Amino acid sequence: MNTEFLRQMPSSRSFAGSGNGLLWRLHLDSPLLAALLVLCGAGLLVLYSAGDGNPDLVVRQAIRLGGGFMALLILAQVPPRTYRFWAPAVYAGGLFLLVLVLFIGTEAKGAQRWLTVPGVGSFQPAEIMKLAVPAMVAWYFSERSLPARFRDVLLVLLITLVPVLLIARQPDLGTSLLVAAAGLLVLFVAGLSWRLILAALSLLAIAAPLMYFFVLHPYQRRRVDTFFNPEADPLGAGWNIIQSKTAIGSGGISGKGWLNGTQSRLDFLPESSTDFILAVLAEEGGLIGVLMLLGLYLAVIGRGLFISWQAQETFSRLLASSLALTFFIYVFVNIGMVSGLLPVVGVPLPLISYGGTSIVTLLAGFGILMSIHTHRKLMSHH
């Protein structure tokens, strides 16, 4: 403990942010908060266009964002060690709720994902796992020395894959993918040997076709088929991706202008306010708009990685880096799928897409990141 304390002393003051005392006292990180606010504001503008100028959608989204920022503010106050203390319990509770969903979950669109609490409303237990799984894995490593050993790998895989499989069964491919990424990314930054990573990747290459035939639901299989040949079914499953690429491509360098995107305004673009909202932005804002968005995302991710680099103990480091990198996975999978690089999986464009509990979860995650950053200074005064 002493050595750790000494090692962290010198760097602690340089980024303390002495200039913004109020935000710091509220445990908020001003660069990250600024990037998030700009991102969410831009998101509301795009949503207004995607929703065909319907203010209802924007108002409801703004309310949800408000709730998210409240969660961010509250979670930022909680010190990281409290998170570490509660991680196993939250994880276990989350697992219990996932099992409960299988039995008494509410069904919608052929998937059983929601738990309805009388008088409160319905929520997705899977969302909890987006935070609980990386926290649990980080907790696991906080008691052990790095790099991760083979035995650790097996245990971490167990911690991660149990909830992932439960979520995949609902079925919700997008969320299970993100939860798996959250857990496995901790393993990566915890120093999992490159040999094992390469072995896992080759195993995945072999398993993928098997997964395709034995694990995937027919609708998921169709998405994969469509990905490899969208023109085979231009009016059915391929329609989404063809229309989305058409929207993006027709936007050009400078775009058609805000509220002028014909693809979404004339309803050719499906799910234009949710998963495919990027196509609206790309059509109306052009390449310039897309690059600005990518820049904002990069700023958020970069700040997250910086926070984890500055973090002083293993739990905080691992959790912070996992949250930042999972956010990147969101961005990459969504934009990759909308632009036809990846198969269509239900992953929203973070902080821009309409709806879902994912916005609250994402902002809650940034609250934890800010807590990790802002409580560092207090710790250094120990």
Of 129 and 190, which has the nearer Cβ to other proteins? Answer: 190
E-assigned strand segments in 36-172: 106-108, 111-117, 121-123
Count, residues in the chain: 382
Smallest distance, other proteins to C-beta of residue 125, A:
28
Query: Which residue, 20 or 246, has its beta carbon nearer to other proteins?
Result: 246
Which residue, 79 or 336, has its beta carbon nearer to other proteins?
Answer: 336
Q: What DSSP line would sit under 138-161, residue for residue?
A: HHHHHTSPSSPPHHHHHHHHHHHH
Give the bridge partners for 116, in sequence order.
122
Nearer to other proteins, 226 or 243 (CB): 243
Q: Are 334 and 350 in contact (CB under 8 A)?
A: yes
**285: exposed, middle or buried (C-beta count within 10 Å: 0-12, 13-18, 19+)?**
buried
Cα-flanking dihedrals φ and ψ of residue 116, to 5°? -100, 120
CB of 173 closer than 8 Å to CB of 220: yes
Binding site for other proteins (CB under 8 A): 3-4, 7, 145-147, 188-191, 235, 243, 245-253, 262-263, 266-268, 282, 286-287, 290-291, 294, 297-298, 301-302, 305, 308-309, 314, 317, 321, 325, 328, 331-332, 335-336, 339-341
- C-alpha–C-alpha distance, residues 272 and 279, integer Å: 7
Report in angstroms how near the CB of residue 183 gets to other proteins at its nearest: 15
| Nearer to other proteins (CB atom), residue 172 or residue 284 | 284
Distance of alpha carbon 187 from alpha carbon 74, whole angstroms: 28
Report the nearest approach of other proteins to the CB of residue 91 (Å): 22
Helix axes 173-189, 314-338, angle to 10 degrees: 140
Distance CA 122, CA 169 (A): 19
Contact 327, 182 (CB under 8 A): no
User: In the bound complex, what is the minimum distance in angstroms from residue 147's beta carbon to other proteins?
Assistant: 5
Angstrom CA distances, 351 to 164, 174, 251, 289, stand at: 23, 16, 22, 16
Strand partners, 108: 111
Q: Give min distance, CB of 150 to other proteins, in A.
A: 16
* Nearest distance from C-beta of residue 260 to other proteins, angstroms: 12
CB of 289 to other proteins, least distance (A): 10
* Residue 297: CB minimum distance to other proteins, A: 8
CB atoms under 10 Å from CB of 270, counted, come to 15
Looking at beta carbons only, is 220 or 308 nearer to other proteins?
308
CB of 133 to other proteins, least distance (A): 18
- Residue 28: partners with Cβ closer than 8 Å, 6 or more residues away: 73, 76, 370, 374
